[in-house]
Amino acid sequence: MADKKRTPSGDKKLNHATSMPNLHKKLVRPVSANRNPDTSRKEKELPSLPKLRVDGRHLSAVPRPQTFRPTGSGQSTPLKTSPVRHQPKLSISESVDSYNLSVIDMYHDAASIVSPTTDVFQSLMKLGIHGYEDDFTDNYSSSSVSVADSPRPRVHADDFHFTDHSPSRPHFTDQSLTNLPYLFPSPTNLLFHQSQSNHILHSSPGRLLGSHSTLSLLSSRDSANIIRNSIELSKTSLSASRDRYGFKKKSQFVSEAAYNAWWSDYSKYLVRRKRKWELLMKQSGLTYEHDAPVRFPARSEKVKRYIRKGIPAEWRGHAWFHYARGHEKLAQNAGVYDAIVASTIDLHNKDTEIIERDLNRTFPDNLHFRSDETQQQRETETPLVQALRRVLVAFSQHLPTIGYCQSLNFLAGMLLVFMDEERAFWMLVIITQKYLPGVHDLNLEGVNVDQGVLMLCIKEYLPEMWARIGLGLDGEKLTDGNLLVRLPPVTLCTASWFMSGFIGVLPFETVLRVWDCIFFEESKTLFRISVALFDMVSPEVTQIRDQMEIFQAIQNFPKKIINPNELFDHCFKKRNGIGHYLSQEEVNKCRDFVSKQRRSHAENAKMYVLDGEGERLYDFEHRKGLNSVAWNKNLTLKMKRLRKSD
C-alpha cells in the first residue's frame, strides 16, 4: 500500500542524540539531509513524553504522538470501554501455566494493573548479583577498537544506587539463581498493544469496528502477548522438560541432561548480562520500566559488544524492532496491517493452501504452537498459530513478488514469540527486504546468490575446507568459472541456514544470539556465522573422505552448538576471527558481483568454462583496504578478460 512509495526504512537512521547528551559526538551518525521531517519531529518528541506512572492508578491523560506510541508512554483508553480487554481469550490457558493465568486475571482489574508487579519488580531490582567483571575481558570487540577507546559515558556514582550492594540484600545461592524470576511480567507489553488496538478501532471505526472477525482477531492477538511474559528464567527450572520459550529441551542432538548442564551455567551468564544491560541503559539515559524498554542506546562499539554478548531475552522483541528500524516502518504504515488482515480473512489461493499446511509444521515442538499432550489439544489451534496464519497471509498479499515461501513460517513464528503480530509482520517485511534480499523470491535467486557469496568466502578464508567441499556432484573440482553457476552440493544445506535465519539449524538460544547481531550489524552476520561454522566443523570434515558424509557432518554440526558463546567466541576470536574482517561493504559488493555473474550466465544460456587455471573472478582484498573504486576497476578488467576469452 502506501508503504511501497516511501523510502525503505532501512536506509534511514534514527537520531538518538537528543536523548543521550553523554554520548560521544563522533558516534552519532549524521542525520541524512532528506530525512522525513515528520519522523524527526516525532523523534524529538520522544524524550519529553511523560513516563507511564507506576503507582498503579494513573495511566491516561498523556498527549500521544500521532502515529506511533512507544510502550509505556502512550495514551490509554480507560479500560472499561474496551470490549476486548474484558474478554481475554483464555484458550491459551490450557497450554500455559497458572503463573500466566494470574497475569491475565490481573488485567481484569484496572487498579491492580501495575502495582503488584511493580512491587516485585522494584524489590528484585535491588538484588545484587555478582558478575560485572567480564566487561573488561570482552573479546567480541572489533580488533580495530580497543576497549579503552570505546566511549564510556561518564556516570556519576549516584547513578548506581539501584544496584547498590546493600547489606540487606538477600543472598542467592547458585540454585536459587537458576530459578530466579529476574524477568517480570510486563504489563506495559499488554497495555501497549491493547491501547494500540483501541487506537485502531477508534481511528477507523467504519472499517474495523463492528466487524466480528476483527474483534475476535484482536482479542486473540492479546493472548499472543502472554508468551512474552513467560520468558523468564524461572520457567526453565532444571526439572522442566521445556525451555522458557516453550520448546522441548531435548532434541535429536542434545539430551535433556546436556541441556540442563549447560543451562545451569548459561542462566547465570544471562543474569550477569542483564545487569550489564541495565547499567548501560541507565548510562545512556534510557529507561527500562516494566522490563519493556522502547528505545535502546545508539550505535557504538560498546553497544555492539553488548549485543554480541546477547540482549536480555525479555527485551529482545523491542530491541530487534528498534535496531531494525521497525518504529519507522510502523509509523509510516499505521493501520496498514489491520487493513490487509481485514481484507484477507477469506482469501484462498495457492499461497494460503501451503500456509495452512505449514502452520502446524512450524514449531510443532513448541507448547505455544502445538501442544502434544492429547489428540484433542493437538487439534485445537493455539492463538499463536492463528496469529501466524494472519501474518503469513497478510505478508503474501503485501509482497506479491514473494508471496509465501516455506521458511517464512519459521521467521514469522520466531518473531511472534517476541512481539505482537503487527510488529512481527513489519519485521518480516524488513527482514525480507533488507537482510535477506531476494532470498524468498519466486525463483529463490537471492538465496543462490548468497550461497555463491558464501562459497567465495569459504574459498578465500578457509582454503582447506574449500578443497573438501568445492567439488561437483561427481567429485570434479569446481573452477572459478563455473562455481557460481554450479554451486557445490553443500549449498543445498547452507541455503536453509539463510532462508530460515538459522532457525532449526542452531539450537534456539544460539539462534537468538545470531538474530541479536543481525538487526544491529546487518546481513554480514549471516556470512560471518556461516564461515565460523565451517571453520568449527573443519577438524571433523578433514577426517572424512566421502562427499555425502561431509554433507551430513556439515548439516548436523550446527545442531549440537547448544552454547552460543562457543560459536561467538569462535566467530569473534581475537586472532583471525572471521567476525573482524568480513565487512558489510564486501558482502554487498560480492552479492552484486555474484548476482551479475549468474544473470549473465543465464542470459547466455550456457556455462562459462574458463581454461586459465589461475583465473579468479572475485578477489577478497580486505587486506589492501579495498575501496569501491578500486574494486569496480578490478571487476571491469576481469569482465573484459572474460569477454575476450569467451
Residues in contact with other proteins by the rule CB under 8 A = 353-354, 357-358, 361-365, 370, 372, 378, 405-407, 409-410, 441-445, 447-448, 472-474, 486-487, 489, 491-493, 495-496, 499-500, 504, 548, 551-552, 555, 606-607
Q: What are the CA-CA distances from residue 395 to residues 1, 180, 446, 516 (Å)?
A: 12, 39, 18, 23
Closest CA to 174 of 311, 109, 271: 271
Q: Which residues partner with 506 through β-bridges?
A: 503
Question: Cα–Cα–Cα angle for 98, 102, 104, nearest 5°?
Answer: 115
Residue 590 DSSP code: H
Nearer to other proteins, 405 or 582 (CB): 405
Rg (CA), the chain: 25
HSE value, Cβ hemisphere, 13 Å, CA-based, for 305: 25
Nearer to other proteins, 474 or 613 (CB): 474
Measured over the CA atoms of residue 214, residue 215, residue 217 and residue 221, the dihedral's sign is: positive
Query: Shortest Cβ distance from residue 426 to other proteins (Å)?
Result: 23
Please name the residue that has the C-alpha cell 552440493. 489
Nearer to other proteins, 330 or 449 (CB): 449
Query: Shortest Cβ distance from residue 639 to other proteins (Å)?
Result: 24
Nearer to other proteins, 358 or 586 (CB): 358
Nearer to other proteins, 303 or 402 (CB): 402
Query: Shortest Cβ distance from residue 185 to other proteins (Å)?
Result: 29
Question: Cα–Cα–Cα angle for 571, 577, 580, nearest 5°?
Answer: 100
Nearer to other proteins, 100 or 382 (CB): 382
Query: Shortest Cβ distance from residue 93 to other proteins (Å)?
Result: 22
Q: Is residue 219 helix, strand or coil?
A: helix
Nearer to other proteins, 402 or 465 (CB): 402
Measured over the CA atoms of residue 438, residue 440, residue 443 and residue 447, the dihedral's sign is: positive
Query: Shortest Cβ distance from residue 88 to other proteins (Å)?
Result: 28
What are the backbone dihedrals phi and psi of residue 386, each rounded to the nearest 5 degrees, phi first?
A: -65, -40
Query: Shortest Cβ distance from residue 23 to other proteins (Å)?
Result: 41
Work out the number of other CB atoms within 10 angstroms of the CB of residue 631: 19
Question: 427-432, long-range: CB within 8 Å, 24+ apart, which pairs?
Answer: 427/320, 427/321, 427/324, 427/326, 428/391, 428/395, 429/3, 429/329, 429/395, 429/398, 429/399, 430/9, 430/10, 430/324, 430/325, 430/326, 430/329, 431/324, 431/501, 432/399, 432/402, 432/408
Nearer to other proteins, 420 or 450 (CB): 450
Query: Shortest Cβ distance from residue 418 to other proteins (Å)?
Result: 19
